[in-house]
A and B are shown apart, each in its own frame.
Chain A
Amino acid sequence: MGIFLRELRIHGRGGQGSVTAAELIATAAFKSGVFSQAFPAFGVERRGAPVQAFVRFSDEKVRLRSQIYEPDYIVVQDSSLIADVDVFSGLKEGGIALVNTENGIVEGVPDGVKLITIDATSLALEILGLPITNTTLMGAFAAATGEIELKSLEEALRERFSGSLAEKNIAAARRAYEMVKEGQ
């Protein structure tokens, strides 16, 4: 096993792009020189149903294939999930919880966890014109954790999306990055 292994668990609802977020974060991490691994929690995908996706970051090849039970980071795409799913389950002490919420109020955050909130929905509506929050949250994740570089995230977004869609998503990610950086 390597010098470090850090783990991210993303909680979202079907259709919010949690799996895409995991893939793009892993891609950005790889571009930042880290061995990363992203995979979904293979549910029967239905729009609106709670879903999970996972990312591991390491200095060497990741061999472990189990799901993530004790993450270093969680991203919650929709704060209404907190009532349905124990999103904080196993989150390490000193870990970071990044939650999308309009009013900044998050119930049930365990002691010793650093909470970062962002109104990603309003930001996404403003910049993308759609309530698709995953790229916004990726920018916030980069700022909150330092696990991926903003430049690598932008590259990953340009590979995945083309033209103005890529630029809009990059703008959303960048704005969220700056907002979280300013808040720290």
Chain B
Amino acid sequence: MLQIMEGSHAVAEAAKLCRPEVVSAYPITPQTHIVERLAEMVADGELDAEYLCVDSELSALSVCIGSSAAGSRVYSATSSQGLMLMAEVVFNVAGMRQPIVMSIANRALGAPLSIWNDQQDSISLRDAGWFHLYGEDVQEMTDQHFIAYKAAEQHDVLLPGFVCFDGFILSHTYEPVDIPSQEEIDAFLPPYVPYNKLDAKAPISMGMYATPDYYMEFRYETDQALQRAGDAISAAGKEFGEMFGRDYSGHTESYRMDDADVAFVALGSICGTVKDAIDEMRADGIKAGLVKIRTFRPFPAAELAKALAGVPKVAVLEKNISLGSAMKGAVGPEVKDALTGTAIEVYSYVIGLGGRDIRKKDIRAIAALAEKGVGNMFYGLRTEVL
């Protein structure tokens, strides 16, 4: 049913509909409203789950890993410093092949301290073995939770996933969103069937150490599984589309790419502003388009290459900085790599860090910079304070 609600509450509703048996999280701005709402749902008997209060994010994800290993469907959510504190466990979840789904309300990292949005937190953990989904609006980020569980729990995947959405910009926005019914989600997402689990009657060990004779093979297997997660996400996105009319089979989404002279590549809520800017530019005779990345891990290189084929210039909008790297943003080099062997010029633009607002005029200015071949830079610096 279409209703208006805060993004965080829509995520809490989505998490509830997935029937997690264990929820463990630690509050952190701008994620807090999600877990507050879930705690209420458990306390009110709306959600039959164990809600475990913990002393930190490190403990929260540790609780999740144990609960998942015991065979439960598990949910968590975090942001920014919370994700950093979890980092050790984040890698272990993937290595132990536990299909946990965690919402990330994207927020900048300190220092300096910032509670505001960028995507440095999740992008910094891109190599951890989780799949990464990014939502453009409240509807998409809500739906991605259903798809994430479905894909994660496939026995040829068994990997965890982040569902990422911009903190405040989406987590604290009220807008209309269609929340499916419990019956509909039950039909889409069957109960979790573990491939194996901790059981005192049939003991196994998980997360053992691996000698040099085995370690590389574990890492190879995890990478293979993450590649397969791409197919599982696509299949779940297609099935979701057939049931609910919102198709997420693509890891990317193209917007007005016909005859584009310049194509933006971006992740998350900025894509909405980019689409409006593209409409204005097209009306003024500037042929711009957008390829939105919905799945960042596994990286959809082939799909991107197809979507960007024949475009002279690509402007990657980066809400992150890979400090010390040549292109500055972390996404640009991967886009460039996907286009190896073509004459397409790829530029990164670091934009909107720490909550700096992004306007249509900024998008237009970046299109002009890309046209001139100027890029791999911070956009919108206040040079007077440098």
Binding site for B on A (CB under 8 A): 1, 22-23, 26-27, 30, 35-40, 42, 44, 61-67, 69
Q: Flag if B269 contacts A65 (CB, 8 Å).
A: yes
Chain A residues with CB under 8 Å of B357's CB are 66-67
Give the 7 A-B residue pairs with the shortest CB-CB distance, closest first.
A63-B272, A30-B4, A38-B174, A39-B173, A42-B168, A66-B359, A37-B175
Chain A residues with CB under 8 Å of B30's CB are 42
0/1 interface trace, chain B 257-298, chain A, CB 8 Å (1 if under): 000000000000111110110010000000000000000000
Q: In this assembly, does B43 line the interface, its C-beta being within 8 Å of a C-beta of chain A?
A: no
A64 and B360 CA atoms in complex are apart in Å by 8
Interface residues of B in 115-163 (CB under 8 A from A): 115-117, 137
Q: What are 7 pairs between A and B in contact, CB < 8 Å?
A: A40-B168, A40-B172, A42-B168, A63-B276, A64-B276, A65-B169, A69-B359
Q: Flag if A39 contacts B169 (CB, 8 Å).
A: yes
Interface residues of B in 160-200 (CB under 8 A from A): 166, 168-169, 172-176
Q: Which of A27, A44, A61 contacts B174 (CB 8 A)?
A: A27
Instruction: Using known A-B contacts A30-B4, A42-B168, A42-B355, determine if residue A63 contacts B275 with beta carbons closer than 8 Å.
Output: yes
Chain B residues with CB under 8 Å of A63's CB are 137, 271-273, 275-276
Q: In this assembly, does B358 line the interface, its C-beta being within 8 Å of a C-beta of chain A?
A: yes
* Interface core residue of B176, B270, B360 (most chain A CB under 10 Å): B176
Give the shortest distance, in Å, between B190 (CB) and chain A (any CB). Answer: 31
Q: In this assembly, does B223 line the interface, its C-beta being within 8 Å of a C-beta of chain A?
A: no
Give the shortest distance, in Å, between B32 (CB) and chain A (any CB). Answer: 13
Q: Flag if A23 contacts B6 (CB, 8 Å).
A: yes
CB closest chain-B residue, reference A156: B4
* Interface core residue of A26, A36, A40, A64 (most chain B CB under 10 Å): A64
Q: Flag if B359 contacts A62 (CB, 8 Å).
A: no
CB closest chain-B residue, reference A19: B172
Q: Which of B137, B175, B270, B279 contacts A1 (CB 8 A)?
A: B279
Q: Flag if B272 contacts A36 (CB, 8 Å).
A: no
Chain A residues with CB under 8 Å of B115's CB are 42, 44
Q: Flag if B360 contacts A66 (CB, 8 Å).
A: yes
A67 and B30 CA atoms in complex are apart in Å by 18
Chain B residues with CB under 8 Å of A37's CB are 173-175
Give the shortest distance, in Å, between A4 (CB) and chain B (any CB). Answer: 14
A22 and B175 CA atoms in complex are apart in Å by 11
Give the shortest distance, in Å, between A145 (CB) and chain B (any CB). Answer: 18
Instruction: Using known A-B contacts A36-B4, A42-B116, A69-B359, determine if residue A64 contacts B273 with beta carbons closer than 8 Å.
Output: yes
Q: Flag if A65 contacts B174 (CB, 8 Å).
A: no
CB closest chain-B residue, reference A66: B359
A39 and B167 CA atoms in complex are apart in Å by 12
Q: Flag if A66 contacts B358 (CB, 8 Å).
A: yes
Instruction: Using known A-B contacts A64-B360, A67-B357, determine if residue A30 contacts B270 with beta carbons closer than 8 Å.
Output: no
Taking A27-B174, A61-B176 as given, write out 20 further A-B residue pairs in contact, using a Cβ cutoff of 8 Å, ordered by the A residue number. A1-B279, A23-B6, A26-B174, A36-B174, A36-B175, A38-B173, A39-B172, A40-B168, A42-B30, A42-B115, A42-B172, A42-B355, A63-B273, A63-B275, A64-B272, A65-B166, A65-B169, A65-B273, A65-B358, A66-B358
Chain A residues with CB under 8 Å of B117's CB are 42
Chain B residues with CB under 8 Å of A69's CB are 359
Chain A residues with CB under 8 Å of B272's CB are 62-65
A5 and B174 CA atoms in complex are apart in Å by 16
Instruction: Using known A-B contacts A40-B168, A42-B116, A66-B358, determine if residue A23 contacts B174 with beta carbons closer than 8 Å.
Output: yes
A1 and B358 CA atoms in complex are apart in Å by 18
Give the shortest distance, in Å, between B80 (CB) and chain A (any CB). Answer: 14
0/1 interface trace, chain B 320-361, chain A, CB 8 Å (1 if under): 000000000000000000000000000000000001011110
Chain B residues with CB under 8 Å of A65's CB are 166, 169, 173, 269-270, 272-273, 358
Q: Flag if B176 contacts A30 (CB, 8 Å).
A: yes
Q: Which of A35, A42, A44, A66 contacts B273 (CB 8 A)?
A: A66
A26 and B173 CA atoms in complex are apart in Å by 10
A42 and B170 CA atoms in complex are apart in Å by 11
A167 and B319 CA atoms in complex are apart in Å by 45
A120 and B275 CA atoms in complex are apart in Å by 40
A69 and B4 CA atoms in complex are apart in Å by 24
Give the shortest distance, in Å, between B269 (CB) and chain A (any CB). Answer: 5
CB closest chain-A residue, reference B117: A42
Give the shortest distance, in Å, between B4 (CB) and chain A (any CB). Answer: 4
A69 and B270 CA atoms in complex are apart in Å by 17
Chain B residues with CB under 8 Å of A30's CB are 4, 176
Give the shortest distance, in Å, between A55 (CB) and chain B (any CB). Answer: 9
Chain B residues with CB under 8 Å of A61's CB are 137, 176
CB closest chain-A residue, reference B5: A27
Q: Flag if B174 contacts A39 (CB, 8 Å).
A: yes
Chain A residues with CB under 8 Å of B273's CB are 63-66
Give the shortest distance, in Å, between A143 (CB) and chain B (any CB). Answer: 22
A63 and B255 CA atoms in complex are apart in Å by 13
Give the shortest distance, in Å, between A6 (CB) and chain B (any CB). Answer: 15
CB closest chain-B residue, reference A26: B174
Chain A residues with CB under 8 Å of B359's CB are 66, 69
A52 and B116 CA atoms in complex are apart in Å by 15
0/1 interface trace, chain B 82-94, chain A, CB 8 Å (1 if under): 0000000000000
